Amino acid sequence: MDDVLTGLLRPKGIAIIGASATPGKIGHTVVKNLIESGYKGGIYPVNPTADEILGLQTYKSILDIPDHVDAAAITIPAKFVLDVVKQCGEKGVKGLIVITSGFSEVGETEMEHELVRIANEYGMRVLGPNVVGTLSNSDALNASFAPFLPLNGSASLVSQSGALLIAIDAITYTRRIGFDKLVSIGNMSDVNFGDMVSWLDEDKNTKCISLYIEGLKDGRRFIDESAKASKPIVVLKAGVSAHGAAAAASHTGSLAGVQKVYSSAFRQACVIQATDLSDLFDCTLALSLEPPMKGDNLLIITNGGGVGVLATDSAEIAGLPLTFAPEAVQEELKKHMPSFGSAKNPVDLTGMAGNDWYHDTVNFAFAHDWVDGLVVLYCETAMTDPMEIAKSIHKAVAETKITDKPVTISFVGGERSDKAMQWLVENGIPAYNAPDLAVKAMGTLREYARLQTMKSNPVNNDHAVDKKAALEIINKVRADGRTSLTEIESKKIFTAYDLPVVKTDMVTSEDEAVKKAEETGYPVVLKIVSPDILHKSDAGGVKVNLKDEAGVREAYQTILKNAKAYKADADIHGVVIQRMAPWATEIIVGSINDPTFGATVMFGLGGIFVEVLKDVTFRVAPISESEAASMLDDIKGAPILDGTRGEAPRDKDVLAQVLAKYAYMVSDLSDEIAESDANPVLVYEKGDGVTIVDARIILTHK
């Protein structure tokens, strides 16, 4: 565990630089909060003029403090911060909690860099600047200007928004969701989300990591740390930055929305994505109290048909469609319900269900091997006491001694039901005030289990590549003053990275074209080669299925004529001759450098509709072959590759290998390649592989 970060987040002693005797000032509030939270470590207010603050001795400078201090909370105006950072370094402080604002968020980026530079020079880490502070129940530490410690519990939250952190602090009491730590991460000048995930993963008081993210600064690192983490991570991502709107020359560019790339990256990081603030709480509650759901068999027990039907619908949406439990399970359940009940799924105990029926059915079902997860629903009735029902359910679950299977609950009713649910949560079972939320929470626990099974495979970076050959081509293009490569140049780079490209040769005369066509073997395809014509068909620059010499001669002339008509001053390098690949399923593979995550790779169904359907998926490169395989199943059109309407299944194995190699290429050359695509890639029947027939690369500006 990083002990510098531990010093910052769980300090043994803390100085407050800018401590104030004036109530209402942040420098006063932080001292007051430290005292009121019951913090056991030393609290050292630093103030050059006051003698004492809230009964504590003050110090003129941090260097005057006689004891060791792990952390310093800084609340003085921005222009004085750099000077005290040096003093903190000399004092041997481990971490700075820079509450002061007025840094990069208002354009003072240089000053922020300087702050981090000086701090790091002394081995210190910086939280912020522009933070609310950090809170920890297990350390009775409120080193912030948020009014109190959150409701105690086992989740920890890191928030990029300070205001939201303060609001969440209060919500923990009304929603009854317990947190151990709340950390405000501010401008992330130094400590970023990757650091926090890795540290919290080792923090023994944290069971679930909750994140509110507006924008990552450390995309690839965040993914790597999250994928490594052994604890569930749930994230709420807000804000759409402008970079997606950047002019895009390739297909991939126009398809890569910010949310799409972020969602793909979160998935790759095995992170659960919450849809809104309320969902962030719902997911956090489930993930901090319950284990993952390891199989698909969900059983629902209810006393009301209505909520049962609602839950059944939700189960389908949550990816857990209900199936009937085996006969033997149904037989046993029937013993605990009236004859007009139902032992199918949902199990309807009817409105007559009392404590015993709930206890006995829950106790039996939860222990049964067939059940992978249990949702218990209850509609408040006149004859039953919700608290008694809650206690019966809790007892039934506890008696099974099973801890590796999840249960979620929903009580629908009034105040008594609310109280009963509160009791359940306090006693370790997540409860929600609507049946669909209890089912959705189970869906989250199932998704978490699925993501975990994807974690295993490492990325293979051991591809046979000729990077030198690729760089030679790139350098020649750059020397030519260009950033866009022609198809044949792009294909040479693909070939250097061992990608299967259709045989392609360039010629500059009609006779040569005929000679090459004969060498290649008919039928052939002719295409224009010009860095000024990116979309060749649009310019009438592609002629396919040419069967003989006459066809080649005619195509050659037409293509050149069309190209000149399309763009009179186009720089024409020549014409390519290539083998006419037999028809197959057309897909697109592409890449774009994302400002946050670096090189990303895209896969989707190809053809002319790709930009209309936008049925594509992304991953941050490089990726493992199994990650590549998961991309193939990610898109709506996935069944097409499995062979629809009597067609044979396509060669997904080879396609996944090609995707992984492509991802390796774009990450290995991420300094050079800004965008690229292979559109189309023809995918043949299983066993027959794939062929790339068109290639495009756009270089980075240097």
State residue 564 phi and psi, 5-degree precision.
-65, -35
- Distance between CA atoms of residues 501 and 690, nearest Å: 9
**Among residues 459 and 502, whose Cβ is nearest to ligand ADP?**
502
The 38-67 site mask, x for binding Mg ion (CB under 5 A), equals ------------------------------
- 452 contacts which partner out of Mg ion, ligand ADP, none, CB within 5 to 8 A by kind? none
| Nearest residue to Mg ion on Cβ basis | 694
Q: Is 629 in the site for ligand ADP (CB under 6 A)?
A: no
- 542 contacts which partner out of ligand ADP, Mg ion, none, CB within 5 to 8 A by kind? ligand ADP
SS3 141: strand
Interface residues for ligand ADP in 328-347 (CB under 6 A)?
A: none
Q: Is 680 in the site for ligand ADP (CB under 6 A)?
A: yes
Q: Is 588 in the site for ligand ADP (CB under 6 A)?
A: no
- 535 contacts which partner out of Mg ion, ligand ADP, none, CB within 5 to 8 A by kind? ligand ADP
Among 170, 227, 240, 544, binds ligand ADP (CB under 6 A): 544
Interface residues for ligand ADP in 513-532 (CB under 6 A)?
A: 525, 527
Among 118, 679, 682, 699, binds Mg ion (CB under 5 A): 679
Interface residues for ligand ADP in 475-514 (CB under 6 A)?
A: 502
The least CB distance from residue 618 to Mg ion, in Å, is: 19
Integer Rg of the chain from CA: 31
Beta strand ranges found along 161-224 (DSSP E): 179-184, 208-213
Residues paired with 72 in a beta bridge: 15, 96
Per DSSP, the residues of 398-422 read: HHHT--SS-EEEEEESSHHHHHHHH
**Among residues 219 and 680, whose Cβ is nearest to Mg ion?**
680
The least CB distance from residue 664 to ligand ADP, in Å, is: 23
The least CB distance from residue 679 to Mg ion, in Å, is: 4
Do 651 and 657 meet the contact criterion of CB atoms below 8 Å apart? no
- 303 contacts which partner out of Mg ion, ligand ADP, none, CB within 5 to 8 A by kind? none
**Among residues 447 and 677, whose Cβ is nearest to Mg ion?**
677
SS3 182: strand
Q: Is 56 in the site for ligand ADP (CB under 6 A)?
A: no
- Distance between CA atoms of residues 245 and 475, nearest Å: 29
Name the one range near ligand ADP by CB under 6 A: 222-230, 310-318, 572-580, 658-666.
572-580
3-class SS string, 179-230: EEEEEECCCCCCCCHHHHHHHHHHCCCCCEEEEEECCCCCHHHHHHHHHHCC
Q: Is 537 in the site for ligand ADP (CB under 6 A)?
A: yes
The CA-CA-CA angle for residues 394, 397, 403, to 5°, reads: 120
Structure tokens at 113: 């860099």
Name the one range near Mg ion by CB under 5 A: 61-69, 355-363, 621-629, 677-685.
677-685
Buried b (16+ CB within 10 A) or exposed e, 165-193: bbebbebbeebbbbbbbbbbbbbbbbbbb
Q: Give the interface size with Mg ion as a residue count (CB under 5 A).
A: 2
- Distance between CA atoms of residues 250 and 646, nearest Å: 34
CA torsion sign, 641 to 646 to 648 to 653? positive
Q: Give the interface size with ligand ADP as a residue count (CB under 6 A).
A: 15
Do 115 and 126 meet the contact criterion of CB atoms below 8 Å apart? yes
- Distance between CA atoms of residues 362 and 395, nearest Å: 9
**Among residues 375 and 681, whose Cβ is nearest to Mg ion?**
681
State residue 109 phi and psi, 5-degree precision.
-70, -40
Residues at the contact surface with ligand ADP, assessed by CB under 6 A? 502, 525, 527, 535-537, 542, 544, 578-581, 680, 693-694
Residues interacting with Mg ion, by CB under 5 A? 679, 694
